[in-house]
Each structure stands twice: as C-alpha cells, then as structure tokens.
Amino acid sequence: MTELIVLYRMPNDPEHFEKYYREVHGPMTSKLPGLKGYKYGPARALDGGTSEFFWYWCGTFDSAQAALDAMASPEGQAGAADVPKYYHEDPLFMFFENFGTNREAASVALTPQTTTKGLPIPLKVNALDHIVVNVADVARTVDWYQKVLGMEVRVFDPGHGKPVRTSLVFGHQKINVRPLGADKVEWFTADHETPGSDDLCFLTSSTPEQVVVHLRACGVMIEKGPVTKQGARGALRSVYCRDPDGSLIEISSYEK
C-alpha cells in the first residue's frame, strides 16, 4: 500500500483555509478514484511546539502509480483547480510505501513542490547562471556596462571557427552580449531577438543616493527613483535608467 501525503505551510488566511478545507476541499478528495481511505487536519510537531506545516492530508492507495493516476484523473484535476480558492501556493506532495505488518515506511518519492495540475515536478531550478542580450553595437554596450555598472569585460573563443564572443561578468553571473544579426546557427538565441527589449534588475551594495550621484556623474539620465519595489527576497530601493539600446536597467539594494 502507498500513502500519499499532502502538506501545507501557513496560509495567508488560516481561518478561511480551515473552514473551506473542512466544508469543501476535504470532501472533494473522497471522490479520488482508487482511494482506500483518507484523513486530514492540523499538522502538529511531536513535541507539541510549532510545526513547519499548518495542515496535512493523507490518503491510501494500492500503489504510487495508483495515486498518480488519481491526481491525473478528472477528479484529481478538479481538486487541483480548487486549491487557489483557499491556499496561496502549491502544497508539498510525498509518497510513502508501507512494507509488512509493522508498517515500516520508506520514502519512495519526494518533490519540493507540485505543478498547478497537482502532479509532482521532477526538476526544480535554483539559480540563474547567465543571460544573453541582443544589442545593436557590442562595443558601445560593453563600454556602458563597464563604466556605469562596473562589470568586467571578457572575450572568449567558442571554437569551431565561430566568431569570438564578449561577456560582461559580475558577481557569480554573466551577460553574453550578442550582436543583432549574428548567425543563429553559429549563436543560438531567442526567436525574436530585439535590442532594447530587456528589463533587468541588478543588486548593489551602494545606497540609492550613491547610485543617483554615480549615474549623474556618468551622464546617465535617471528614469525613476529612488523608489521602493518588491524583489525576490523582500523590499528593494531601486533607481531606474536605460542602457544604450533602451533596455530598462534597475539598480537596487535590499532595505536593511
């Protein structure tokens, strides 16, 4: 037998979550094909303290494949579509296989999150390595990013007789600068390469006030800022300008 466990972290509205789950979503799960039994309720830590999770659902199936088939069924898809009505993100799905009469459990499948269709995601990226920007003039772009943003310029040979390429390195990332019109066979890129179509946000340890002074000293017009924006990890203080092709450049620092 296989147990499918669904875990929810703290919802934005705990009271609405619990009421909706007990009255609507919980009963919906009873319709899953192949479900042998199920239970749900508040998740509690073993020591009685605060748990990482707010709520759980546990259902029993003949096998992990039977559980996957249930989630892919019309009933499972209806349940997945219902999640945004009471919860703000994807829940965590886990499978446990029960062996023998002592119910010794071993995890046979674990994913950190699920798709909006309720099926496990087999892959999850965790960082951005590099991006490619298409530009009208490589030399002009490189000069601007080096002077204004302090990036390091690197030229490298991709080999096989292909033209040399230019990169702008900063932190642990880089930007590959691709000239508009470069052969797509020699330099594979997006379907619609257009200079000035990017909207990029860079982090700096400088204060917004220092950024403003620096941009003015470089003769760069400030489009907006300093203003507060929402970044990946919280509130940012941002100053906006444009690169030579017109792409929007956001120079930001996290509020302390």
Residue-wise DSSP of the chain: -EEEEEEE---SSHHHHHHHIIIIIHHHHTT-TT--EEEEEE---TTSS--S-SEEEEEEESSHHHHHHHHHSHHHHHHHHHGGGT-SSPPEEEEEEEETTTTEEEEEEE-S-B-TTSPBPS-------EEEEEES-HHHHHHHHHHHH-PEEEEE--STTPPPEEEEEETTEEEEEEETT--TTTS---SS--TT--EEEEE-SS-HHHHHHHHHHTTPPP-EEEEEEE-SSSEEEEEEEE-TT--EEEEEEE--
Q: 104 an active-site residue?
A: no
The CA–CA distances, whole Å, from 255 to 204, 209, 227, 241 equal: 12, 13, 11, 20
Phi–psi pair at 172, nearest 5 degrees: -105, 20
Find how far residue 171's CA is from the centre of its chain. Answer: 20
Q: Is the peptide bond before 226 cis (omega within 30 degrees of 0)?
A: yes
Structure tokens, 117 = 């269709």
List the catalytic residue out of 3, 97, 250, 255.
Answer: 250
Would you please indicate which residues are annotated as catalytic (active-site) residues?
250
